[in-house]
């Protein structure tokens, strides 16, 4: 992030202020670790922060519908004492994006945007001095990855040396998980069909992070190879919003990539199953794995609230 100031509050938690979260690597390694510590503190004693955003107004701009992202951000803002303003429409269609951003800049203290294209997020940040948070784009889903790192840390403690396996499309969720996991010292393995590999530029960034942290990055086209020895097995829908016309083709291409009992059994005996939701049971995951005692999907959903509170506290 472009700017950060730090000090200690009465509870011993470092205070931080940062500019934008447009992509995962806008957080420094220290900021990422601090944010996970703060998310744990907020979850443990939420009442300590209930007026932290008093007098602040934050705009939620959504081009895509959402259950978890919208409600957890609205709740986070309100539970921190701020006001959330929701707007659902294409951004930059009725009027230029730069005009939208400069209007918001005069009214609100922050912008949370869930959009189809990364360029929209970047444009909002370019034209607004208010902090901008990427709540999902075609390239990244940093808020989801923050909650996921918090969830894995709750289950296994230290993240260093753990293994996260992602089965499915090399999409925005895979990108953010890859970048976050590797710099926290987690091995990351992606099992995807031919033609569905992650963005090569993001893979190059991930390889650089792995070289620094000592973690391993593996991208293969055999699900069992990716899952073997994993502490967490993660999947996502095969066709995301905006890809509905590809659903039939993707169901064919992803045949054999379902996380079912047989594939999940190849992970560690104490492995957890993870999914960013919504899930299409019977496609990317079996109902038995979703409902198993080792499914962490609703812990992830809960931690969206706590991780986003921590993010808002850092940026506001």
The percent of the chain in helix, strand and coil, each rounded to the nearest 5, is: 45, 20, 40
Q: Which of 23, 68, 70, 141 is catalytic?
A: 141
Nearest CA among 54, 300, 255, 311 for reference residue 154: 300
Q: Which of 138, 148, 205, 276 is catalytic?
A: 276
Three-class DSSP category at 63: coil
Q: DSSP class of residue 139?
A: S
Active site residue 105: no
Structure tokens at 86: 């929701």
Active site residue 304: yes
User: Count of CB atoms within 10 A of residue 170's CB?
Assistant: 22
Residue 62 to residues 50, 115, 294, Cα–Cα distance (Å): 25, 6, 32
Question: Exposed (0-12), middle (13-18) or buried (19+): which is 7, by Cβ within 10 Å?
Answer: exposed
Active site residue 141: yes
Omega within 30 of 0 (cis) for the link into 278:
yes
Q: Which of 236, 250, 258, 308 is catalytic?
A: 236
Active site residue 144: yes
Strands 14-17 and 5-8: antiparallel
Three-class DSSP category at 235: strand
Q: Which of 70, 153, 304, 306 is catalytic?
A: 304
Crossing angle (nearest 10°) for helices 68-79 and 297-315: 50
Q: Which of 20, 26, 138, 144 is catalytic?
A: 144
CB 215 within 8 A of CB 185: yes
Catalytic residue numbers read: 114, 141, 144, 236, 276, 304
């Amino acid at each position: 992030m472009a700017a950060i100031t730090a000090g200690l509050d009465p509870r011993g938690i470092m205070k931080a202020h940062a500019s934008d979260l447009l992509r995962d690597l806008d957080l420094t390694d220290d900021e990422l670790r601090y944010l996970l510590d703060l998310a744990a503190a907020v979850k443990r004693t939420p009442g300590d922060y209930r007026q932290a955003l008093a007098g602040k107004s934050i705009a939620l701009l959504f081009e895509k519908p959402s259950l978890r992202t919208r409600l957890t951000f609205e709740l986070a803002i309100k539970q921190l004492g701020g006001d959330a303003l929701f707007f659902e429409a294409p951004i930059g269609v009725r009027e230029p994006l730069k005009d939208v951003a400069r209007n918001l800049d005069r009214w609100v203290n922050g912008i949370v945007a869930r959009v189809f294209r990364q360029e929209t997020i970047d444009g909002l940040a370019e034209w607004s001095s208010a902090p901008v948070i990427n709540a999902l784009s075609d390239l990244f889903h940093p808020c989801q990855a923050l909650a996921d790192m918090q969830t894995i840390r709750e289950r296994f403690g230290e993240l260093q040396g753990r293994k996260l396996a992602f089965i499915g499309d090399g999409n925005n969720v895979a990108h953010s998980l890859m970048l976050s996991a590797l710099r926290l010292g987690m091995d990351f393995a992606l099992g995807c069909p031919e033609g569905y590999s992650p963005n090569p530029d993001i893979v190059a960034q991930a390889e650089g992070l792995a070289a620094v942290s000592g973690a391993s990055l593996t991208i293969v086209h055999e699900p069992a190879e990716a899952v073997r020895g994993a502490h967490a097995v993660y999947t996502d829908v095969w066709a995301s919003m905006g890809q509905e016309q590809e659903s039939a083709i993707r169901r064919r291409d992803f045949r054999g990539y379902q996380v079912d009992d047989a594939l999940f059994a190849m992970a560690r005996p104490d492995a957890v199953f993870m999914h960013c939701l919504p899930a299409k049971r019977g496609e990317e995951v079996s109902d038995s794995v979703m409902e198993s005692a080792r499914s962490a999907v609703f812990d992830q959903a809960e931690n969206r609230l706590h991780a986003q509170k921590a993010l808002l506290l850092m940026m506001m």
